[in-house]
Amino acid sequence: MMKSGALELGEASKGSTTPNTGVNRGVSIVDFILRLIAIFATIGSAIAMGTTDETLPFFTRFIRFRAQYDDLPTFTFFVIANSIVSAYLVLSLALSIFHIMRSAAQGTRIVLIFFDSLKMMKSGALELGEASKGSTTPNTGVNRGVSIVDFILRLIAIFATIGSAIAMGTTDETLPFFTRFIRFRAQYDDLPTFTFFVIANSIVSAYLVLSLALSIFHIMRSAAQGTRIVLIFFDSAMLALLTAGASAAAAIVYLAHKGNTRVNWFAICQQFNSFCKRTSGSLIGSFGGIVVFIMLILLSSVALSRR
């Protein structure tokens, strides 16, 4: 009986080294397809923007009216960003194919998670179900330490995003001179981009406050997995929202400071100096929150990989 029990335990241990292999391979195939779709999407966006050029049919002796994408640094950055992302996606196909063939791989998945902020659900391909009781919660101390750092980072991100929302949402400047019919005043809600920035930071800060409950739960139950996957998913969504708001606001702030003579957009910061300083300062907390979210996603992925 003892030999039989030992044999059964050995078979169980052997069978548990690569659980859910079929599911993991299916996830890897979906991952590969999504990367192909993203490649065509980003390349298409870069080409569409990079070939934008229009010349009006009328012109004067000295002026020819022409608009190109590189007239605006924001559009140039858009083309560069999409080109870099598409190149990365092409290179990442090799690891994606490797995961299809080796569905139990973990280290390379963490590498992809670090560089892929929007494809975190593939980290669900984890090795679970070890037969021995002692192996059910390995590296518990390390995971608890990761959870404590996670909690501290969330507190930092809360103050950063709330600070950004308040700084932008209270931006208001009125120039000391005015005419009989016009009063020169600048507010954040004069621009929909700044309004979106305030809304995005408010949503993210509210989410971070709610996520503290799960962060505390992970400190007490460091072996938890399902809730970490939930956090990775929502952290990724909030990262995308925060990045969109901060990037859009940064583009407007740049134009407010520099203007653009090619399209006759004049810089307003020479007049509305306080307004521009406040809007520029509000970006610091938001971009700081982006960095914190990247670290949070990486920490959650590391904690999951130690299972």
Q: Per residue in 225-273, pLDDT tens?
A: 788 888 889 999 999 999 999 998 998 888 888 877 776 777 777 777 7
In this predicted model, which residue has the larger pLDDT, 126 or 203? 203
Identify which of 157, 192, 94 has the alpha carbon closest to the alpha carbon of residue 287.
157
| Two tokens, residue 128 | 């679970």
150 plus 267 within the same structural domain: yes
The answer as to whether 148 is a domain residue is yes
**DSSP-assigned letter for residue 191:** S
**DSSP-assigned letter for residue 129:** -
How far apart are the C-alpha atoms of 112 and 185, rounded to whole Å?
47
Indicate the average pLDDT of the chain. 77
pLDDT at 277 over 50: yes
Contact (Cβ atoms closer than 8 angstroms) between residue 40 and residue 122: no
**How many domains would you assign to the chain?**
2
Mean pLDDT in residue range 116-120: 47
Last residue of a domain, one of 136, 155, 174: 136
Report field, pTM of the whole predicted structure over 0.85 = no
pLDDT tens per residue, range 195-222:
999 999 999 999 999 999 998 998 888 7
What is the number of other CB atoms lying within 10 angstroms of the CB of residue 157? Answer: 27
* Cα dihedral: 14, 20, 25, 30 (round 10): -160
The answer as to whether 188 is a domain residue is yes
229 plus 179 within the same structural domain: yes
Element (H, E) at 117: none
How far apart are the C-alpha atoms of 38 and 262, rounded to whole Å?
33
Give the range of the structural domain holding residue 68, as residue numbers without chain letter: 19-136
199 plus 103 within the same structural domain: no
